[in-house]
Amino acid sequence: MRSLTDLPFDNTYTRLPEAFYARTRPIPFTNPHLVSFNPAASELIDLDPAEAARPEFVEYFSGKKQLPGADPIAMLYAGHQFGQYVPQLGDGRAILIGEVRGRQGIAWDLHLKGGGMTPFSRGFDGRAVLRSTIREHLGSEAMHGLQIPTTRALCIIGSDEEVYRERVETGAMLVRLAPSHIRFGSFEVFSYRSQHDLLRQLADHTIEHHFPHLDGTDGDDRYVRFLTEVVERTARLVAAWQAVGFAHGVLNTDNMSIHGITMDYGPFGFLDHYDPGFIPNHSDPGGRYAFDQQPGIGLWNLSALAQALLPLMTREAAVAALDRYEPVFLNAYAEHMQAKLGLRQPRPEDGELLSELLAMMQASEVDYTNLFRSLASFAREGGADGTAVREMFPDAERFDAWAARYRARLGAEGGEPAARAARMNAVNPKYVLRNYLAEAAIRKAEDERDYSEIERLLALLRDPYSEQPEMEGYAAAPPEWGRQLVISCSS
């Protein structure tokens, strides 16, 4: 394991022309302190977890000192925000500290959110607040525990600095890791400016460093293959979101990664009761980014990326790449949901079986996570004892009709019921990061400067599929105060 000053930086992005970024430095807090540290993320860059106990740790990751070999920049990009093109965005409150290559040869961006104003701040203060950094810290680790591709969170640095949002809050910084922070909007900015040479440079850089298996492809075909792979990765990512009940909240093209990973956690939320129109973001009253709109928005955003890449390929090739989205998404989603139902051999009637279950759940406001988790006991008994599941549905007659079909389907599937139940518990989490759980941790941190609930949730969410009897309460549906929490974009 390495010390802070021995991290091997290999800053490939800064070898691009300065048209792609602006060199800048974080603006440190006056009295920073460590709020939370994630040793699982530190392993990705071979950083010794013991380094977090050193006073220098906070100084390096709050901007007071610069890590040897780092080359801090704010990245330029544009994006479609709520469907409207914004010609220049960029890292207005985030700074790419540098790229660290681990012993396995995998490079990770160290990205500091909340580091103060940059040339792309557009008059804003460039700060993040404790509330938003806790949500991203917990959210990204929760997604990783659910085996969904995501950025990772290394640490939160807190402060006493006042930051003005809807109310006065305390400023904080989050250090996150990702293979890169290249977004759909990174390509859009150069395409819309008709800077096609820079667009090609960015595509070549992205393929060379992040899609090297495409690097030897002859001619412009590699750009088509790059787009196709981004389309397929994104389709699989959105399918995983839908299966686990995750709503991102702000699916602008500048929040979409070319790696097909979840990034830029803002007003996200996991479903409590099943509501396909769930909107976690109070800035989205029209529901553009509602839970059930995510599959279509995924394709919409990919179409914006394809439009940006048209100078590098024919329109026909771009359309062919986009045509991969729907079949990949539908196949991935079907596989997820069949596994959640304990089915291994797909049959034509499975879609109707699932649709009726979801319709019943919506009509009865049944908890999404708890229902699917409970189905394992139903499946273990071959449907003989459906009492616990049945009690979730006021319309017992409708449930019984569905249960008879499900029971017959399980019988046709065959196999050992106990093994089937174990498989179901491995894909249906017991615990997700419900908004009320995150809110409780935030309130404790803000009101009492007590960060223990953050650590408790991190430990819980690293293993969301296992029974943890001492944490049983964390699987409960939200209390009255925690129902339908809607989160602000402002952070």
Q: Where in the sequence numbering do the catalytic residues fall?
A: 254
User: 85 - beta bridge partners?
Assistant: 80
User: 163 - beta bridge partners?
Assistant: 169
Q: For residues 100 and 70, what is the distance between their CA atoms, to the nearest angstrom?
A: 9
What's the gap between Cα 103 and its chain centre? 25
| CA neighbor of 163 nearest in space, from 134, 137, 124, 136 | 124
Token pair listed for 384: 């003989």
Token pair listed for 368: 């999404």
Q: For residues 229 and 237, what is the distance between their CA atoms, to the nearest angstrom?
A: 12
Q: For residues 107 and 182, what is the distance between their CA atoms, to the nearest angstrom?
A: 14
Cα distances (Å, whole numbers) of residue 486 to 31, 148, 168, 378 = 32, 23, 19, 33
Q: For residues 227 and 117, what is the distance between their CA atoms, to the nearest angstrom?
A: 33
Phi-psi region of 27 (alpha: psi -120 to 50; beta: other; left: phi over 0): beta
Helix, strand, coil percent content, the chain, rounded in steps of 5: 50, 15, 35
User: 177 - beta bridge partners?
Assistant: 110, 152
A 10 A CB-CB count for 15 gives 11
